[in-house]
Structure 1
Amino acid sequence: MAVPDLADSPPVRRLADWDDQQLRSLAATHDTPLYVIDLDRVQANYQRFSAAFPDAHVMYAAKAHTGQSVLSALLDVGADIECAAWGELERSIQAGADPNTLQYTAVNPPAHDLDYAVDLAEDAPGLTITIGATDTLDRLAERGYDGRIAIRINPGIGTGHHEKVATGNDAKFGIPYEQVPDVAERVRAEFDLVGLHSHAGSGVLTDDLEDHCEAIERVGEMARRVGDLEFVDIGGGFGVPYHEDEPPLDLAKTSEMVRDAVGDIDAQLKLEPGRYIVADAGLILTTVNTIKETPTATVVGVDASLATLIRPAMFGSYHPMRNVTAPDREPEPVTVGGPVCTSADVFATDRPIARPERNDILAIGNAGSYGYELASQFHSQPRPAEVALEDGDDRVVRRRETLDDVTRVEQ
């Protein structure tokens, strides 16, 4: 894969920047609903972020998109990978990652996850396990593990686009701040303490940086209290503009503020962007099947649903939409919904879109992160195919599921 030139890569890719003719062709060839991921853009986003933090170790948070094509593309440009579950560890290795470079962030890890990580570490002592509870230390010790540990700090400050992703003040995540020095002492006695970790929240844009950096300041302070660390990992959470009128994250300002917030530490700074790397590199194509005029709304029915993209139903998230069949038609306010039997299955309400007609193809933007990852088989709907774009070509990287795939595990 050719490495993209950053000079040709803008800081944000809007939905209107995609090639409508190419998108129509993909829909005609591969049917809809269809996920599209641009691997050139994925690589460019990683390179741009890394260039803003030249002295830091930038990993990719796999949970944003664990497709093998995405992981392989990022490994090709030197990214390491942070994983939140055993399946992400395995998929990263299958994509070509050296297990010694992986970081596993355990959150209430099931027994199988810990078993897998401990077994993996026997042959890959460079694997780092991040713990957010002393109970996890007990469980690791029971399994005979005495290797690399990072302590996840709960800084008591949450940030991000929604309360459900503001992990920095959620008791589920991390060791309570003032308990960290005692836990560090225990880790040093029983394991190999290599780092501190924290993640304040997700979807952080330039205007949110002050709150985000307040949490980072606390991590830097704790790093100086604990001392003798290999790295300090401040997580990810850096956002992309979902609304068309939102400016992109100012990376230069972000880098400066983050460095100032961390302060002077005798350790490697680590970051784990996920959404920033893949969000604007992906979209969904969906076909209009129904137009219904009512006294209160023009309802546009499409073949994608909350089973395809759950973020609007789960978070109330805004995703840009575009009629790629006829983008020059006069815009009309419409409500766009899918075929799932719930009022939550709506992508947009009273949204001005070039007047849709039956069989038009609509594109739903910024679907590269937490899109396919959260897709389901609700209503017995097989999950969609995914097509990757790279070096001017396209290829199917996930075939469309069939009903046999949906029912295969039943007995």
Structure 2
Amino acid sequence: MWYLNPENKEKILKFSNYKTPFYVYHIPTLLKEINKYKKTFNGYNVKFLYAMKANFNRNILNIIRDNGFGADVVSGCELKRALNTEFNEISFSGVGKTDEELLIAIKNKISFINIESYEEFERINYFSNNLKIKTGISVRVNPEVKADTHKYISTARRYSKFGVDFKTAFKIYMNAKKSEYLNIKAVHFHLGSQIFSSKPYSIALKKIIDFLTELRMYGILIKDIDIGGGWGVREGNETSNLMALFNVLKAYLKDYNFIIEPGRSIVASCGVLVTKVLYRKKVFDKYIVIVDAGMNNLIRPSLYGVFHPISNLNDRNDKKLLVDIAGPICESSDFFARDIKLSLPERGDVLLITSTGAYGYSMSSNYNLRPFVKEVLIF
């Protein structure tokens, strides 16, 4: 991985002379991950809308835009940032869009709004008619397909808060067809995050194709299918096996255009959280190492129980001991790792918590009144 390269290690150690913790993003790795998508789907009618919630650093957004990606946003503030970044195409998803947010989307004539309830459809129709602005829409359908992932990031099961059932989607599309100021652009589904098998996509897509076939009988012709994002990347690794996803779409590329919303899979591996060791203490048969980063900087280990590989830039080669890595936050869940084998770090050692380019800074907070950290880019 890029952070094990001696030159990059030296750069990070130099940065760490200043205040820790902070995030570092390696731009060559970001570009490498972007290019995997471009190469896999090159020459086919497939577009990419970057899931901005994964990482909304302005410099990273500019790079992603310059590589031909649009943006998928899930809040009014994300929408404003996408507009300011001048993405060519923007979709607006999310179950709780306020009137103010919908008006921003409608007035700026973004590519389309992903509708997630019938009442949201009514608001969009009302505003579009009042303003006499033709608004692009898509409906997020919940295909009720179980993806093998953490329950908090599985979004297409029955009783999920996301999307609508096929019956409601049909009702929305039929009424949208009658509206002078609504433009039916696409259909959308999103199965969740950290999905490593193409099978759930295949099952969901078959249901969506059957639904579009039914709509065609009523004069509604939809050619664009947004399959969301969610393709997984394991902590400590880079994105792989995109051909499996391509193979799901291949049979339908003659008749349909596709939209994919990669987020984590292009930014996760380019980022690390840099933190320093504050204290070590022995508790019975193991050591607890206290670092200056906390769950306010990276909540995924506490929230999802995810382990991000940890590397000591000071290269301790002593005997490996049983170690926990904990932060300073006043919560018992503020751990980055439990029961890992690691050479005991010294006070002041610089640790890297890896694969944190996605949902790291973007999910951080100032809990315990701890400040937000800086972000550094390596080109």
Q: Same fold (TM over 0.5)?
A: yes
CA distance in 2, matches of 1:144, 1:96: 23
CA distance in 2, matches of 1:259, 1:82: 23
The 3-state SS of whatever aligns with 2:106 is helix
- Cα pair distance change 1:212/1:134, threshold 3 Å: same
Choose from 76, 80, 86 the match for 1:86.
76
Q: How many residues get paired?
A: 365
Which residue in the other structure is 2:231 paired with?
Answer: 238
Which residue in the other structure is 1:156 paired with?
Answer: 144
Aligned residues of 1:322 and 1:354 also touching (Cα < 8 A): no
The 5-angstrom pairing of residues 1-400 of structure 1 reads: 13=1, 16=4, 19-28=8-17, 30-54=18-42, 55=44, 56-98=46-88, 101-121=89-109, 126-145=110-129, 146-169=134-157, 170-190=159-179, 191-205=182-196, 208-227=197-216, 228-242=221-235, 249-260=240-251, 263=252, 266-390=255-379
State the identity %: 25
Does 14-23 or 286-295 show the bigger shift? 14-23
> 1:224 Cα deviation (Å)?
2.9
- Cα pair distance change 1:199/1:223, threshold 3 Å: same
The 3-state SS of whatever aligns with 2:141 is strand
The 3-state SS of whatever aligns with 1:284 is strand
Q: CA RMSD in A?
A: 2.0
TM-score with structure 2 setting the length: 0.91
Q: In structure 2, list runs of 5 or more residues that go unmatched.
A: none
> 1:230 Cα deviation (Å)?
3.9
The 3-state SS of whatever aligns with 1:167 is coil
> 1:225 Cα deviation (Å)?
2.7
> 1:209 Cα deviation (Å)?
2.4
- Cα pair distance change 1:15/1:239, threshold 3 Å: farther
Deviations 1:59-78 (A, max 9, x none): 21111011101100111111
The 3-state SS of whatever aligns with 1:172 is coil
> 1:327 Cα deviation (Å)?
4.9
> 1:221 Cα deviation (Å)?
2.6
CA distance in 1, matches of 2:122, 2:227: 25
> 1:251 Cα deviation (Å)?
1.6
TM-score with structure 1 setting the length: 0.84
- Cα pair distance change 1:327/1:267, threshold 3 Å: farther
Deviations 1:103-133 (A, max 9, x none): 1114221222112212222xxxx53111011
> 1:370 Cα deviation (Å)?
0.5
Deviations 1:174-197 (A, max 9, x none): 110233223211111122111000
CA distance in 1, matches of 2:373, 2:321: 28
The 3-state SS of whatever aligns with 2:276 is strand
CA distance in 1, matches of 2:169, 2:122: 16
